Amino acid sequence: MNDKHLVLTQAGMEFPTPKGPFCALKNVDLKISKGEFVSIIGHSGCGKSTVLNMVAGLHCATSGGVLLNGREVNEPGPERAVVFQNHSLLPWMSCYQNVELAVKQVFKGKKNRAEMKEWIQHNLALVQMTDAMYKRPDEISGGMKQRVGIARALAMEPQVLLMDEPFGALDALTRAHLQDSVMEIHANLKNTVIMITHDVDEAVLLSDRIVMMTNGPAATIGEILDVDLARPRDRIKMADNPKYNHCRHEVMRFLYEKQRKVEDLLSAKKNRVVESTTKKEEKLA
């Protein structure tokens, strides 16, 4: 594996606000190997999506930076494809046409019409959408829409697939089916995947490593957990696997400990405000 495939070095992100700069991320250091599946997990507002957007080139780091194969990432590019929670399909186009848009953008002048058609059909087949490829988004289920979104991203033949809570809006059964599909695709293509999730079980089931973020503002990487589980992984067998349950426990411990610290800080701040107000009232009396 190439340990320098994707590197974030002291990456930070500040956003301008009327009250001054808001520091969302600070000193994020992360190296991801080619073919690795990495999940990023943490509480809301911990900067998970900001990290993903920096890798995608949708945000430029205000400090530090991101390198892909030794080249700085400062804008979007076809070597990085994003799958969002919202499928973002064009409603007036068929599933085939939605994938075709991405293929034409990336492979114009590189593939002829017949090769493009074969490539589009191949990627729709990867996500089991062959029978519905000519249907429009309003004619298919939410899970099928996400499958098309994944097919569109894969059809760009990206070096890095970025997934921002891709299954968050789906029911549990559909979510499980898509997780299994993603595991199968990753096993076949051996592409590099970074996934944002709130789901601990999802992170442990799919990942080689889990990156746990501290709470914002100025969020950073708190811990990184190696998921030492053999592939392929069977979700039913995993339930009784001691290593699986250990990983799950470690992530839960981190998340609950960090949440408790935030709640304690907020409670202490509230108490200080109450005490200050009470003292002022006593002086006035």
Question: What pLDDT digit, counting tens, does each position of 211-233 carry?
Answer: 999 988 889 999 999 999 999 99
pLDDT digits over 84-140, tens only? 887 789 999 999 999 999 999 999 889 999 999 999 999 999 999 999 999 999 999
State how many domains the chain has. 2
Q: Quick one: how far is CA 223 from the chain centroid?
A: 17
Residue with tokens 């929670």: 85
The pTM for the full model equals 0.86
The whole domain housing 97 covers 80-157
Structure tokens at 159: 């070096």
On whether residue 119 sits in a domain, the answer given is yes
pLDDT the model gives residue 1: 45
pLDDT digits over 140-170, tens only? 999 999 999 999 999 999 999 999 998 887 8
Same domain for 66 and 135, yes or no, is no
Structure tokens at 198: 């709130």
Alpha-carbon dihedral angle through residues 14, 17, 22, 24, given to the nearest 10 degrees:
-60
Given 157, 179, 195, the domain boundary residue is 157
Percent of the chain clearing pLDDT 70 (strictly above): 89
Structure tokens at 188: 């076949």
Helix (H/G/I), strand (E/B), else coil: 224: strand
CATH number of the CATH domain containing 32: 3.40.50.300
* Alpha helix positions (H), 160-241: 172-189, 200-206, 235-238
- Confidence band for 256, pLDDT divided at 50, 70 and 90: confident
One-letter amino acid for residue 85 of the chain: Q
Q: State yes or no: pLDDT of 264 exceeds 90.
A: no
pLDDT the model gives residue 262: 57
Q: State yes or no: pLDDT of 274 exceeds 60.
A: no
Given 127, 157, 187, the domain boundary residue is 157
Contact of 158 with 79, CB cutoff 8 Å: yes
Identify the sign of the CA torsion 188, 190, 193, 195: positive
pLDDT the model gives residue 263: 55
Residue 214 carries which DSSP code? Answer: P
Burial of 66 (0-12, 13-18, 19+ CB in 10 A): buried
Same domain for 70 and 165, yes or no, is yes
pLDDT the model gives residue 257: 78
On whether residue 125 sits in a domain, the answer given is yes
Given 157, 187, 212, the domain boundary residue is 157
Same domain for 93 and 125, yes or no, is yes
Q: Please state, in angstroms and rounded to a whole number, the distance separating the CA atoms of residues 51 and 221.
A: 10
